[in-house]
Amino acid sequence: MTIEEKWQAAHEKAAYAKQFPGMITGWDALAGKEIVQVWPLAKKPFILLFFSDRTFAFAPTLDLDPSDLIPCLEEARPHLAAIYPEAYKKLDELAVKNRELQRHARLEKILGAVKNNLAEIPELKEELRKFLERL
């Protein structure tokens, strides 16, 4: 796994979240919608608007950045998962893939740092051995 693959996985997750099924992302699409439920989200300064046609939006802004959108989707899960189970399944799969690639990228970075410093720091190998024995 490379850093590029990790970046791609994060990009896929963010892109999917931005086109999450049932989510309204533009003000024009709200015309004629009947709000049937409003839930404040505790973790982010947004509210979840749920409409009679089973679509939803986050307010006060509809076009959220993925750094806000993904936590909003997670917090809204108790309200939306029964309506959009496949969408949440896909989001979960992308999140697992992203976490796994992030873990592998960290491993590669650590191993690369060790390899790149072995020649300049001869005691590094022995110090690593001691460190691992203490674990």
How many structural domains compose the chain?
Answer: 1
* Cβ 46 vs Cβ 23: under 8 Å: no
Per-residue pLDDT for the chain (135 aa), expressed as one digit of tens each?
Answer: 678 888 899 999 999 999 999 999 999 999 999 999 999 998 888 999 999 999 999 998 878 899 999 999 999 999 999 999 999 999 999 999 999 999 998 999 999 999 999 889 989 888 889 888 998
Q: Find the domain containing 101 and state its range.
A: 3-134
* Sole residue written with tokens 């986050």: 58
Give the count of beta carbons closer than 10 Å to the beta carbon of residue 59. 13
With a threshold of 0.75, does the pTM exceed it?
no
Percentage helix, strand, coil for the chain under 3-state DSSP, each rounded to 5: 60, 10, 30
